[in-house]
Structure 1
Amino acid sequence: MELHKLSNGAQCHDTAKPMDERIPPEEEMFLQHKNDATRSPQFTDFEGKTSFGMSVFNLSNAIMGSGILGLSYAMSNTGIVLFLILLTCIACLSCYSVHLLLCSAGIVGIRAYEQLGLRAFGYPGKILAAVVITLHNIGAMSSYLFIVKYELPLVIQAFLGHRISSEDWFMNGNYLIVIVTVSIIFPLTLMKHLGYLGYTSGFSLTCMVFFLSAVIYKKFNTVCPLEAFGNYSVNLVDPEDTCNAKLFTINQETAYTIPILAFAFVCHPEVLPIYTELHNPTKKRMQNIGNVSILSMFIMYFLTAIFGYLTFYENTEAELLHTYNKMDPLDTLILCVRLAVLVAVTLTVPVVLFPIRRALQHLLFPEKPFNWARHIIIALCLLTAVNLLVILVPNIRDIFGIIGATTAPSLIFILPGLFYIRIIPTDLEPMNTRPKIQAACFTMLGFVFMIMSLTFIGLDWMSGENRSIGGH
């Protein structure tokens, strides 16, 4: 069996090794067979129809999250050079994580995160993977709908005039998220294949490019210091540093940057579903999709962070749009940007829902063929649960913090590393080989991130402060 060396020196098998006779029946039935149904499933037995470009749009849209609004604030607490170093490290680690997933999937012919858990650790591993994906993506979907709940009424008020009463029903965020869910999100979740969402993902990314363009434009059209804007209160603790960009900064908030950046690249539950529906699927082709998507988001993240930071410097707030709003609440461009961000996060919800539905189907109905009624009911139940969570819970910052601090490191670092160690046969790669050692170190790094994030949350709770370690 031919081995292909990757740029990081790790190796993996590009073709699937036939499964032995002891593999559970549900794994045997997972892939659709093109030829003889009696033979063991191979990794290329199922071929989707989604193009390379559409797959890049879907994966990029899965990576892109609400966390982009806090990257300028993160840069203000690290400095430009340190932020760039951390961003580069996290992006490279994410590419390596995708590599581990694809190697593990390719060696056993499996294209579902939960099935990898089953192969590596049996049924408990399958349950763990499904629960982690479900919790993380429900948290992500809730964060997107919270943006709709709080931002859409402000946009409506700005476009229709401030004379509108806040008592009007269309100014109630709870009603608005239900309307958006029923009219936009739910119909998109009814698509049978994730690949069909490539068009909406492309439009969502276009909205975020518009957001980035506005941030760049505002940098060159905003004076500093900001006393010229009557609505903006400038931090004058150290007036000499108000308009000076820092290359390196270490303060109390600096340690929060690593979890923020790590969570900003979470896309791993969507990698294997996108791989499943890829036309002409090969590991190299899917790895290229992952690399292009992560590189695109790396560029967008860095440009957003640096131009937002160079606009407000020490006055950058944790949510960049709020910073612009304080400067000029009636700015037409910023209002359009807020609307574009709302569209982007709304169109991202269906992409995030697909891995949850796949996880639940593999967990509850492992041997059942596709069924439209079940497909629709699961989507309806998930959206109902998320809407109720956003409506009934006034502040779920702590819930998001706990979920993010545990599920994000698990999805990026811990599970891919463990899957690789357990699934790649020791006769091909013994534990003392460099790829296995790298995977073990990668897994340990995930535990370090998890402990660090949980420690920050605990310190916040004890101090009574309301910092956020970021969200996806």
Structure 2
Amino acid sequence: ALVIKPRRKRGNSDLASAGFNIINSIIGSGIIGLPYSMKQAGFPLGVLLLFGVAYITDYSIILLIKGGNLSSTSTYQELVKKTYGLIGYLILSTLQFLYPFIAMISYNIITGDTLTKVFQRIPGVEPGNVLTDRHFIILFTTIIFTLPISLYHDIAKLGKVSLISLILTIVILVVVMVRTVTFSPQVPKSENAWIFAKSNAVQAIGVMSFAFICHHNSFLIYGSLEEPTLNNWSRITHVSVSLAVIISVVFAACGYMTFAEYTEGDIFENYCRDDNLATFGRFCYGVTVILTFPLECFVTREVIANVFFHGNLSTIFHIIVTVIIVAVATAISLVYDCLGIVLELNGVLSATPLVFIIPTACYLRLSEEQWNHSDNIISCLILAVGALVMTVGFVLTILHPQECSHGKEMFYCFPSNVSFHNRLSHQKLVVQLSLSSKFLSSS
């Protein structure tokens, strides 16, 4: 049997604090795209896939710690370097750079989407006002907020962000739940909204993986435990991931049940601009992503520092690297504004290998168990699924990118358009019934 020895270095976190950190790592800005993943996969299959991704997340986080103990390493990078050498280390470093970097792009897109609609609700701010221009908002928030905060050297100074982010996420969840009851009757019913499965299910897994990834924090949280044992870690992980998936399923279900086939990659794009409750939700979400952006920038800068500067950046290079990272991410987000495909690409290219492939590959390389041991078999299955999702998802995303109605007021926000849509749907139904009756009479 595999025996895991406690680490010598102990932290001061109890089980509850560590569990809170894991939940906060999962329930972040990625949750906003989960209703969109239901649209991609089909609602019944989407819910099943969400539970599946949660199970794999739970399993692979525990595998990471097992691998770390087997290899006597205490970070994700050290584990991969000791297991697969320099090539593995460089591949992991590339993925660990891409994931937060693409996330930064998505955060800027979200900021531009949400805050412009918030400012439109201010009396006197007309549609042509500079505050309604997403380019201005992205540049303004970058220069005033995200870049200065990103220039911090010590990530500990951003410690309170996690608590604020989680509180605001719960507020957003409440807003979405309330609007499911009060707003969904206004949205016309769409065809094929409740079929079991759809052809974009693989891309949906990528979006879900983007939402659930928390592996880069796993070693840090494990090392902070007062008693860092595998039993304690497994217990924390099971409870935390279970709570996270419940919140995620509720959010995804409420968002999709409200808008069905009209669901956008950013769920707040679906709400009408004169919806004050949704505007409050947009504001909360905009603040969340602005506060989370520097954390992602910190990770990308650390990867560059470790690969090119042996982990040490002088003050001048620290500033230069930070400015370049933020500037490139901002430039891309100014040019491209469709969130759905950004979430899909980041999910299949970065999150999927970090969640599915690398933890299982490392464990299989280090495992001392017989080949038919359950951990080895499950690891092989997860590895195969991850490779399939990454390959097929990337090809499908490139060949069949999803349409994006970014920045447009949805048609159901105009009563006349809804009436026309309902009349059109009624006419289609009459024609179908007429054709059916003719067919039956001829038979």
TM-score bin, normalised by smaller chain = 0.7 to 0.9
CA distance in 2 between partners of 1:296 and 1:289 (Å): 11
For 2:111, the equivalent position in structure 1 comes to: 148
For 1:89, the equivalent position in structure 2 comes to: 52
Cα deviation, residue 395, structure 1: 6.2
Structure 1 range deviating more: 271-280 or 294-303: 271-280
Check conservation: 2:33, 2:343, Cα contact below 8 A.
no
CA distance in 1 between partners of 2:116 and 2:329 (Å): 19
| Structure 1 residue 363 corresponds to structure 2 residue 307 | yes
Cα deviation, residue 380, structure 1: 4.2
C-alpha distance 403-215 of structure 1, shift in aligned 2 (>3 A):
closer
| Structure 1 residue 269 corresponds to structure 2 residue 216 | yes
| Amino acid of the structure 2 residue aligned with 1:466 | E
Check conservation: 1:104, 1:419, Cα contact below 8 A.
yes
Partner of 1:257, secondary structure, is: helix
For 1:390, the equivalent position in structure 2 comes to: 333
CA distance in 2 between partners of 1:191 and 1:55 (Å): 24
For 1:456, the equivalent position in structure 2 comes to: 396
C-alpha distance 421-78 of structure 1, shift in aligned 2 (>3 A):
closer
| Amino acid of the structure 1 residue aligned with 2:331 | L
For 2:362, the equivalent position in structure 1 comes to: 419
For 2:241, the equivalent position in structure 1 comes to: 294
For 2:281, the equivalent position in structure 1 comes to: 337
Identify the match of residue 25 of structure 2 among 28, 37, 62. Answer: 62
Check conservation: 2:184, 2:257, Cα contact below 8 A.
no
C-alpha distance 281-177 of structure 1, shift in aligned 2 (>3 A):
farther
For 1:439, the equivalent position in structure 2 comes to: 379
For 1:14, the equivalent position in structure 2 comes to: 4
For 1:174, the equivalent position in structure 2 comes to: 135
Identify the match of residue 353 of structure 2 among 385, 388, 410. Answer: 410
Check conservation: 2:202, 2:393, Cα contact below 8 A.
no
Cα deviation, residue 200, structure 1: 1.4
Cα deviation, residue 270, structure 1: 2.6
Identify the match of residue 199 of structure 1 among 155, 160, 169. Answer: 160
Check conservation: 2:210, 2:343, Cα contact below 8 A.
no
CA distance in 1 between partners of 2:139 and 2:133 (Å): 10
Cα deviation, residue 189, structure 1: 4.1
Cα distance per residue 1:367-409 (max 9 Å; x no partner): 75x9776666554443233223323556687676544322222
Partner of 1:324, secondary structure, is: coil
C-alpha distance 102-402 of structure 1, shift in aligned 2 (>3 A):
same
For 2:8, the equivalent position in structure 1 comes to: 44
CA distance in 1 between partners of 2:44 and 2:342 (Å): 32
CA distance in 1 between partners of 2:149 and 2:346 (Å): 26
C-alpha distance 182-336 of structure 1, shift in aligned 2 (>3 A):
same
For 1:25, the equivalent position in structure 2 comes to: none
CA distance in 2 between partners of 1:108 and 1:89 (Å): 28
| Amino acid of the structure 2 residue aligned with 1:408 | A
| Amino acid of the structure 2 residue aligned with 1:271 | S
| Amino acid of the structure 2 residue aligned with 1:133 | Q
C-alpha distance 348-214 of structure 1, shift in aligned 2 (>3 A):
same
| Amino acid of the structure 1 residue aligned with 2:384 | M
Q: Percent identity?
A: 25
Check conservation: 1:97, 1:413, Cα contact below 8 A.
yes
C-alpha distance 83-388 of structure 1, shift in aligned 2 (>3 A):
closer
Check conservation: 1:87, 1:261, Cα contact below 8 A.
yes
For 1:466, the equivalent position in structure 2 comes to: 403
CA distance in 2 between partners of 1:441 and 1:120 (Å): 20
Check conservation: 2:215, 2:355, Cα contact below 8 A.
yes
For 2:207, the equivalent position in structure 1 comes to: 260
Cα distance per residue 1:219-276 (max 9 Å; x no partner): 232362x2xxxxx6x356x5xx8xxx84x52344445433332332122223224444
Cα distance per residue 1:319-366 (max 9 Å; x no partner): 4222222xxx21211100011111122222233334333333332344
C-alpha distance 340-76 of structure 1, shift in aligned 2 (>3 A):
same
C-alpha distance 442-457 of structure 1, shift in aligned 2 (>3 A):
same
For 1:309, the equivalent position in structure 2 comes to: 256
Cα deviation, residue 201, structure 1: 1.1
| Amino acid of the structure 2 residue aligned with 1:423 | L
CA distance in 2 between partners of 1:158 and 1:350 (Å): 28
| Amino acid of the structure 1 residue aligned with 2:328 | A
Q: Runs of 5+ in structure 1 lacking a partner?
A: 4-11, 17-42, 227-231
Q: Runs of 5+ in structure 2 lacking a partner?
A: 406-443
| Amino acid of the structure 2 residue aligned with 1:306 | A
C-alpha distance 103-149 of structure 1, shift in aligned 2 (>3 A):
same
For 2:413, the equivalent position in structure 1 comes to: none
CA distance in 2 between partners of 1:359 and 1:53 (Å): 30
C-alpha distance 374-277 of structure 1, shift in aligned 2 (>3 A):
farther
Check conservation: 2:33, 2:265, Cα contact below 8 A.
yes
Check conservation: 1:57, 1:198, Cα contact below 8 A.
no
CA distance in 2 between partners of 1:335 and 1:199 (Å): 24
| Amino acid of the structure 2 residue aligned with 1:269 | H
Cα deviation, residue 62, structure 1: 3.2
CA distance in 2 between partners of 1:81 and 1:392 (Å): 35
| Amino acid of the structure 2 residue aligned with 1:456 | L
Cα deviation, residue 148, structure 1: 0.8
CA distance in 2 between partners of 1:452 and 1:63 (Å): 25
For 1:429, the equivalent position in structure 2 comes to: 369
CA distance in 2 between partners of 1:128 and 1:52 (Å): 33
CA distance in 2 between partners of 1:137 and 1:265 (Å): 13
| Structure 1 residue 249 corresponds to structure 2 residue 196 | yes
C-alpha distance 291-444 of structure 1, shift in aligned 2 (>3 A):
same
C-alpha distance 180-276 of structure 1, shift in aligned 2 (>3 A):
farther
Identify the match of residue 119 of structure 1 among 73, 78, 82. Answer: 82
| Amino acid of the structure 1 residue aligned with 2:269 | H
Cα deviation, residue 120, structure 1: 0.8
C-alpha distance 65-203 of structure 1, shift in aligned 2 (>3 A):
closer
CA distance in 1 between partners of 2:21 and 2:293 (Å): 12
| Amino acid of the structure 1 residue aligned with 2:178 | Y
